[in-house]
Chain A
Amino acid sequence: MSNSGASTYSGNFWLTFFTNNRIVSGAIIILIYLAIISALGYLLAPYIRKLYKGENTFLSKYTAPIIEKIEKVAGVNPKNTSNFKGYFLSLIIFNFLVGVFSLTFLMIQGDFFKFNGQRPMNIYLAFNTIVSFLTNTNLQHYSSPLRLSYSDITVVIIGLMYVSAATGFAASMAFIRGIINDDGKLGNFFHDFLVSIFDLLIPLSLLATILLIIFGVPDTTYTSIVIHPFFDKFTVNIPIGPVASLEGIKNIGTNGGGFYGANAGYPFENPSWITNLIEVISFTIIPIGSIFAIGQVLENRKFSFMLFGVIMSLFAFSAFLAFFGEISGVPALSNIGYNFGGNYIGKETAIGISQSAIFGSAATLTSTGATNAALIDYTPAGMLGILFPLLLNDPLGGVGTGVLNIFSYVIFTVFLVSLMVGKLPEIMSLKISSKEIKYSTFSLIIHPLIIIVPLGFTLLFAPILMKSFVNTHPDQITALLYEYASAASNNGSEIGGFATNTPFYNTLDGIIMLLGRYPIMAFQLIVAESFSYKKPKVQYGRSVDIGSFWFGFMLLFTMIILGLISFFPVLAAGPLLAWGRAFSLSVGVVR
């Protein structure tokens, strides 16, 4: 049990109880986190609802003139709305141009403004980095402060973090409009994009940045702190820079690419439990808020609560699996009686196991991919807890994309459920025809396909590709699965375990990230467009109640079954086999 190594205090009973029962206190910490993020998400929902409905918010009087001016300069007429084709074309061309600009910037920067000790990026790494930040993935195949100048970080990295998050939110605005409208129009991408940036991302990230600065995250133009340790002849250079401003949008925009290679595990990115809480709140607040906002926009709050319940069940399962996996310690050691209060390998002791677990699972449930612990050192069970949301394509999702992803599952489930009760499938009185099923199925199957196909390919040619795969073991399968799942779900969380900065992985990951972002978004928006030609909801209650408990049960059931049937063999040969081995190893020791 985990209470070994705990010290006893006399006097305060509860203090003693919680110190001696780490499982209870850890579980309570996780529950507190879940309660706080749910409450704050709920509070943000009315604001997001106004954005979805195009109403004025209390910030509009400041932001509207700015948006108007930019639109005037750029020649965009917000009243000029378009259907799927126009909307998606604007989205993809805009993203492409931003990508090309950033790529050029990154390549040139290395030649002109190199800092001491910085190595420029080659084209593969640069491609991977740009795609990664453009798709809201933020998979980092470089070690951040050593490879990027601060102008890179400020312009390219922070810039792309805003662009990718705003693109996602704009897509979700178009999707919601598809459900509400009946004229086939999804809106104007550029207007949605600007609204997302000025009304949502900038205010929230500014707030997060200020809070982080208050609680000790540095934000400066200095490049490094020089420390001369006592009794040492060498000085230590600790790079610092615009950490807090990057952290703000990194978390608010569910991006996740940190300033430091160790991400939020590094004390300058995440110095204390309070910044840990702020960061978890900042990457869950928009996704949770959007879930509640959908219900308010579509005037079906029960639906929102159902979605929230389903996602929170997955969230709690993920967080508790990770927590229990870690608190029970490394199997090889815990089985022979050494526990040390859980598996602390690769974790920041100031933050602890429970807060690392909730941070990790919150990061993979949203498409954030930030981390405050070294995932490679997680136990197989803990790893499974962090990994499985990736396999379900981030149920809570990123900014905007969460709404889109969950709707693919919802449409799929509505189809099955309606047939099961003998009704023609429809959602909010919108008939679901074969077209919507087709594109929802596409957007659901593309995710396992872009994980399994590269994985199979890599495994088959592993010995040729990499020297480190000569002695093969299941952990490498886990590592590869994690890598591709993270790229495919545009999450960006990484466990490493093998050299990822090679032309092969840079290119392959780049392609996976692109396929995991734009085609899925396109399919979902096609569904939205096809809804947008249909008459809007008039009344509820004629078909399956999509806010009911049993619909939620079936949604959860479908999500888990689809995840399991797609990934069970890989999970068996990867984490499960590793898990089994870890235990049999320890059993061997006992014998």
Chain B
Amino acid sequence: MNQYIEAVINAIKSFDPRKIVKNPVMFITELAMFVSLYLLAFHTQYGLNLTPVYIDFYISVIVLLFLTIFFSNLAESLAEGKSRNITATLKKMKRETNGRVIDQNGERMIPSSELRKGMIVEVRKDETVPTDGEIVEGRGYFNESSITGESKPVFKVQGDSVTGATILQDSKVKIRITADPGETFLDKMIELVEGSIRTKTPNEIALSILLSGLTLVFLIITSSVYTLGTFLNTNVNLFILVVLLICLIPTTIGALLPALGVAAINKVSQFNVIAKSGRAVENAGDIDTIILDKTGTITIGDREANAIYPNRDISMDQLYEAAYISSYFDETKEGISVVKKALENKPDLKSLDMTKYEFVPFTPDTKFSGVKKENQYIYKGSPNAIWELAGSKDNYIDARCAEISSRGGTAMVVISEKGILGAIEFNDILKPWIRERIESLKAMNIKPVMCTGDNELTAQYIAREASIDEVVANSKPKDKYDKVQEEKEKQRMVAMVGDGTNDAPALALADVGFAMNSGTQAAKDAANMIDLENDPTKLMDVIFLGKQILITRGSLTTFSIANDISKYFVIIPAVFFMFPDLSFINVLGFTDPLLAVTSALIFNTFIIPMLIPLAIRGVRFKPSGINDLLKRNIMVYGVGGVLLPFVAIGAIYYLLLGVGVVW
């Protein structure tokens, strides 16, 4: 309740002309209110009719004008209140902690505000990460609930980035600080949410120009009505002219436009996505191609070792042992899952002495990893890499691999100096609802492209399952960049999801770069949106949202302009009510001109609060082709915008007449 009181107070404060001048439509409305007050005060000079009926009319006009501005301010302050809540929660998280810095002078505690880029800090169990950084040593589960609200801890290994205010739940890690104070993720987030309220997107600017132009035209038209009256020797009541002006200028969209902008950023924040600008969100709505990483986007997390297939003369146990040894030092998630799988089936492997082995890390050239000891070795890697290493193909295992691929799995082959030992099957699990989401993307004419390092067969299988038509298989990091470039050359708007450092160029090149918070700093800097929950499918939510913002804005503008037609048919007959010959344009058959004018103004005023929820929530739309959407919105907001006021003003008029208001 408190926030509503605050919003009302802010709405009243916003009557300050210096503040309202930024919104030309509302500025004119406020000016009209003051002019009306002035007219009423000096009524004798302007020959205003002062019978009680007219005095009621004048007062209700002034009150309604006041309400119009009030509702506009209220819409904005309600929206701003929400974003203020968001920044407040963010600021609360930014509490002061100490970091254990390790350098040549040994170990000491330093407050987080004095930590600088490049320092190495150690974080132990149940300690808070003092500020943003990158893990340089160790691994552990981090509780990120303070940022994402997700209580399930996230496992992070060397190279992953960690955010300040998250809590390490086990072991200890060493972190290299990547942000100076004031530049941390939280600082940037607060700055962005606050800043996005102030900066207008190009579309908003274009729309305000358009609305200002129309307002100018309406000012001139309203004055011309006065001269028309004078010319035809009738005295046009100046208050009716004020009402005409306010009904004509696009108050509906003018009142809601600032609120729309703020509401957009709020909604993005509700998704736990930080957009670096309002423009990025709008761009997201215009996406034609979306480049998705298979891992984490289409499939859940990382693939896990699922089953093993020993070679003809090898036993299951032998293969488990070999797989365990080859993956023991492997820090990738696949390696860890192999170790886990092996231990599940052969717990005694734990006692194996691994110190005698030397680690052979994975390189993009060799495409295998494992261990070696003198001239013994055990490696695991992609089938092709292993065939190359072995010098020949093992037909039995190769057939196994093909079988695994054909059902969407990934095969890895284990080899030792004695020969091919067998294959490990890794499986991907599709995210729930992914197929439906991809299909609704396709319904909106957005082309999803899946990039994966998997081989063609596996990639095709998963793409088919997820209903994706275009796949880049066997992709190297540069392929993503090339794909973005290729799509951009076709003049398409490209969105790209990424988290690794090698994704950074592609993220920067794409129109919308969507980085994971768990990703590297480079990726986060290059992207223009960052997801706190590390859920790449949320890009699709942002796309919906971006579209929704544009649709809301466009539809309300069309609605606002279309409304003018019906308001004309109510007010103009009232202005010229002394000419009975013109009564044929009085299509609603109103007999009381003052009441008709008031009804129009009442409609004009109260349509604003009625549309506030729509503005803050956004108009509903079904993901469908452009033409269907266009047809529907033209009928609803264009044609409907002409017809609705007739019905509504008519209803208000006869309601007022019914309850006995006689003017």
Contacts and interface: CB of A to CB of B under 8 A. Distances in A.
A574 to B, nearest CB: 8
Given A422-B546, A438-B209, A543-B626, A550 B228 contact: no
Q: Which of A433, A459, A462, A473 has the most CB of B within 10 A?
A: A459
Contacts of B489: 538
Given A419-B550, A420-B551, A455 B568 contact: no
Contacts of A554: 630, 634, 638
Nearest to A431: B202
A438 B203 CA distance: 11
Interface residues of B, number: 75
A460 interface: yes
B637 A472 contact: no
B473 interface: no
Given A542-B491, A554-B634, A418 B550 contact: yes
B606 interface: no
A313 to B, nearest CB: 16
Nearest to A469: B231
A29 B549 CA distance: 50
B217 interface: yes
A550 B631 contact: yes
Interface in B608-639: 621, 626-627, 629-631, 633-634, 637-639
Interface stretch (B81-89, B283-291, B423-431, B514-522): B283-291
A535 B548 CA distance: 28
Contacts of B213: 441-442, 444-445
Interface in A551-591: 551, 553-554, 557, 561, 564-566, 568-570, 572-573, 576-577, 580-581, 583-584
A19 to B, nearest CB: 34
Contacts of B547: 422-423
A424 B582 contact: no
Contact of B562 (A415, A423, A452, A561): A561
Interface in B474-517: 489-493
B565 A561 contact: yes
A515 interface: no
B345 interface: no
Q: Which of A412, A449, A457 has the most CB of B within 10 A?
A: A449
Given A420-B551, A423-B286, A577-B576, A459 B210 contact: no
Q: Which of A423, A452, A456 has the most CB of B within 10 A?
A: A423
Contact of B203 (A425, A442, A557): A425
A296 B18 CA distance: 52
Interface in B80-139: none
B649 interface: no
A419 B584 CA distance: 37
Given A459-B227, A535-B491, A423 B550 contact: yes
B232 A422 contact: no
Contacts of B631: 550
Contacts of A448: 217, 220-221
B248 interface: yes
Interface string A100-122: 00000000000000000000000
B558 A569 contact: no
Contact of A550 (B223, B445, B581, B627): B627
A459 to B, nearest CB: 4
A421 interface: yes
Nearest to B211: A441
Contacts of A455: 224, 227
A64 interface: no
B330 interface: no
A46 interface: no
Contact of A437 (B206, B214, B491): B206
Contact of B555 (A420, A425, A550, A576): A420
A422 B627 contact: no
A544 interface: yes
Interface residues of A, number: 67
A10 interface: no
A457 B230 CA distance: 11
Contacts of A423: 285-286, 547, 550, 626
Contacts of B492: 542
Q: Which of B216, B548, B634 has the most CB of A within 10 A?
A: B634
Contacts of A146: none
A548 interface: yes
A419 B553 contact: yes
Contacts of B549: 422
A569 B222 CA distance: 9
B268 to A, nearest CB: 15
Contacts of B564: 561, 565
B14 interface: no
Contacts of A576: 582, 584-585
Contacts of A441: 209-210, 213
Interface in B516-552: 546-551
Contacts of B585: 572, 576
A122 to B, nearest CB: 28
Contacts of B232: 472-474, 477, 573, 577
A460 B232 CA distance: 10
B263 to A, nearest CB: 15
A417 interface: yes
A481 B554 CA distance: 33
Given A421-B633, A434-B206, A573-B576, A462 B231 contact: yes
B248 A565 contact: yes
Contact of B579 (A538, A550, A580): A580
B144 interface: no
A416 interface: yes
Interface string B553-573: 111011001101100100011
Contact of A577 (B202, B582, B639): B582
B634 A550 contact: yes
A572 B561 contact: no
A424 B638 CA distance: 19
A539 interface: yes
Contact of B285 (A422, A438, A550): A422
A544 B572 contact: no
A322 to B, nearest CB: 20
B457 interface: no
A444 B637 CA distance: 22
A545 interface: yes
B583 interface: yes
Contacts of A452: 217, 220-221, 224
A453 interface: yes
B211 to A, nearest CB: 9
A310 to B, nearest CB: 14
Contacts of B557: 416, 419
Contacts of B225: 569, 573
Q: Which of A448, A564, A572, A584 has the most CB of B within 10 A?
A: A572
Contacts of B568: 564-565, 568-569
B658 interface: no
Given A420-B554, A550-B631, A570-B224, A580 B205 contact: no
Interface of A: 412, 415-425, 429, 432-434, 437-438, 441-442, 444-445, 448-449, 452-453, 455-457, 459-460, 462, 469, 472-474, 476-477, 535, 537-539, 542-545, 548, 550-551, 553-554, 557, 561, 564-566, 568-570, 572-573, 576-577, 580-581, 583-584
Given A469-B231, A550-B630, 12 more contacts: A419-B207, A423-B286, A444-B213, A448-B220, A448-B221, A449-B216, A554-B638, A557-B638, A565-B565, A569-B221, A572-B572, A573-B576
24 contacts: A419-B554, A419-B557, A421-B633, A422-B285, A422-B549, A423-B550, A424-B203, A429-B491, A433-B206, A437-B207, A441-B213, A445-B214, A448-B220, A449-B216, A542-B445, A542-B493, A545-B627, A557-B638, A561-B562, A564-B565, A564-B568, A569-B221, A577-B579, A580-B581
The 7 closest A-B pairs by CB, nearest first: A419-B554, A422-B547, A580-B581, A420-B554, A437-B206, A434-B206, A456-B224
